[in-house]
Amino acid sequence: MAKLFLTQLNLAQFRCFSRLRLKTDHRSVILTGENGSGKTSILEAISLFSPGRGLRRAKVADLARHLNPSPSWKVSCQIDRDGTQRSVETTWMNNSKRRLEVDGKSVKQAELNDCVTILWLTPAMDRLWSESADGRRRFLDRTTMSLIADHAGDVMAYDRAMRERNRLLRHPDSDAHWLKVLEFRMGEAGAKLTRQRLYAIERLTRALAGSVSPFPIGDIRLISQEGAQATTIDREELTEALRLSRPRDFKAGRTLIGPHRADLVVEFQGQNRAAQLCSTGEQKALLISLILANARAILEDFDCPPVMLLDEIAAHLDTHRFQMFLAEAKQLDCQMWMTGTEWALFDSLAEEAQKFQMVVEPDGSTVKIVN
């Protein structure tokens, strides 16, 4: 099986860091430190090497260290894939777009999968099952992107056409021909992205079947909100539904139907309880189950492991479940970047992990190697 891991991470003027260079080997990484010492910021920096806005969905300007008089930041890393090194870098300077380079060449976000796939779990996601469908759709789309590189581009194409259509819907005398063109584009991108979402669900379900996880999932489904045509995989049907929905959409001033009204439903195995009825720990267990299944599917399909970012992973899990998680994650042989408040939680990893202690200093946070 191929190996893939970060060997170096460099931050400049990023969040609470003025400068940081972290050298790592193939093993997983554990970061501990007091609140506000920069643990999540390190994971966030790595998450920028996957399509989107990173694990906190922050605006680029908010990532720049406040104390820096000229707002700009840079994050770079070295990735080892079976002995071949690649360098990935992302930079931002005031009033410009974020730039992304692989081995010195500019690349698009959707091309990052060719280099590294990154999965993450954060404490904010503990509320995924009880909050609005937006978060669940984003989660499903990230999972889908990790399995189908094209998906990021299709999501963007759909959103772009929908934003433009929504703009027209706010003006009653809008150009009907332009609306038709946009509905065609939404139908095309929308049906494709739904097909891809359904594939990802089917792939996760298969990967879950091979799991001996203590985090059992009964069923995963994509559903549509009432009358929203959110799960159709037929381009013409979606385009026509958008056309028919125009009068209602004009009244609402936005698009009421389409894959942006889809929702992800996950049930806990056994009593087939919907996720939002599960306890906090059970809901976290469902997420862990999905992320492990996602990692397994990536390994099987691409013969290359993802890098996993697991922020406060032990929160809400009892000791037994947390140790079971570590045991299962170890089998996947991924480089995991985990944060926690205490070393003791990770004792069972012993020498299999590299430990770093965050230290807050007057000129920004830094890290100390513990072992």
Q: Nearer Cβ to ligand ATP, position 123 or 216?
A: 123
Q: What does 273-340 look like in DSSP terms, one character per residue? A: EEGGGS-HHHHHHHHHHHHHHHHHHHHHHHSSPPEEEETTTTTT--HHHHHHHHHHHHHHT--EEEEE
Q: State which residue, 40 or 144, has the beta carbon closest to ligand ATP.
A: 40
Nearer to ligand ATP, 55 or 193 (CB): 55
Beta bridge partners of 23: 8
Segment interacting with Mg ion, rule: CB under 5 A, options 37-45, 83-91, 342-350, 362-370: 37-45
Instruction: Identify the residue among 10, 24, 28, 41 touching ligand ATP (CB under 6 A).
Output: 41
Number of chain residues interacting with ligand ATP (CB under 6 A): 14
Residue 41 interacts with which of Mg ion, ligand ATP, none, CB < 5 to 8 Å by class? ligand ATP
Instruction: Please identify which residue in 21, 23, 36, 348 interacts with ligand ATP, judged by CB under 6 A.
Output: 36
Distance CA 154, CA 188 (A): 9
User: What token pair was written down for 175?
Assistant: 């150009």
Bridge partners of 223, per DSSP, are: 263
Using CB under 5 A as the binding rule, whether residue 50 contacts Mg ion is answered as no
Of the candidates 24, 32, 37, 40, which one interacts with Mg ion according to CB under 5 A? Answer: 40
- Cβ-based nearer residue to ligand ATP, 223 or 359: 359
253 binds, among ligand ATP, Mg ion, none (CB under 5 to 8 A by kind): none
Pick out residues in 16-35 that bind ligand ATP (CB under 6 A). 16, 33, 35
φ, ψ dihedrals at 255, nearest 5°? -80, 120
Residues 138, 75, 303, 195, Cα dihedral to 10°: 20
45 binds ligand ATP, rule: CB under 6 A: no
d(CA 107, CA 88): 10
Is 90 a binding residue for Mg ion by CB under 5 A? The answer is: no
Q: Distance (Å, rounded) from C-alpha 149 to C-alpha 107?
A: 14
Smallest gap from Cβ 98 to ligand ATP, in A, equals 15
Report the nearest approach of ligand ATP to the CB of residue 92 (Å): 12
Contact 94, 72 (CB under 8 A): yes
| Cα–Cα dist 329/323, whole Å | 10
Q: What minimum distance in Å lies between the beta carbon of 322 and ligand ATP?
A: 18
What is the DSSP code string of 75-103? Answer: EEEEEEETTEEEEEEEEEETTS--EEEET
Cα(184)–Cα(240) distance, rounded to whole angstroms?
Answer: 9
Nearest CA to 297 out of 146, 168, 98 is that of: 146
Find the shortest distance in angstroms from Cβ 39 to Mg ion.
5
Q: At what angle do helices 176-209 and 133-147 cross, to 10 degrees?
A: 70
Least distance from C-beta 13 to ligand ATP, angstroms? 9
Residue with smaller CB distance to ligand ATP, 41 or 213: 41
Footprint on residues 55-74 left by ligand ATP (CB under 6 A): 62, 64-66
CB of 67 to ligand ATP, least distance (A): 7
For the chain, where are the E strands, in sequence order? 4-14, 17-23, 28-32, 72-81, 84-93, 99-102, 105-106, 118-121, 217-224, 262-268, 273-274, 307-310, 336-340, 353-361, 364-369
Between 56 and 235, CB nearer to Mg ion:
56
State which residue has the least CB distance to Mg ion: 40
CA dist 245 and 229 (Å) reads: 10
Which partner in Mg ion, ligand ATP, none is near 131 (CB below 5 to 8 A by kind)? none
Structure tokens at 3: 């190996």
- Over the window 312 to 341, marking each residue x when it contacts ligand ATP by CB under 6 A and - when it does not, the resulting string is ------------------------------
- Least distance in Å: CB of 284 to ligand ATP? 16
Query: Would you tell me which residues interact with ligand ATP (CB under 6 A)?
Result: 15-16, 33, 35-41, 62, 64-66
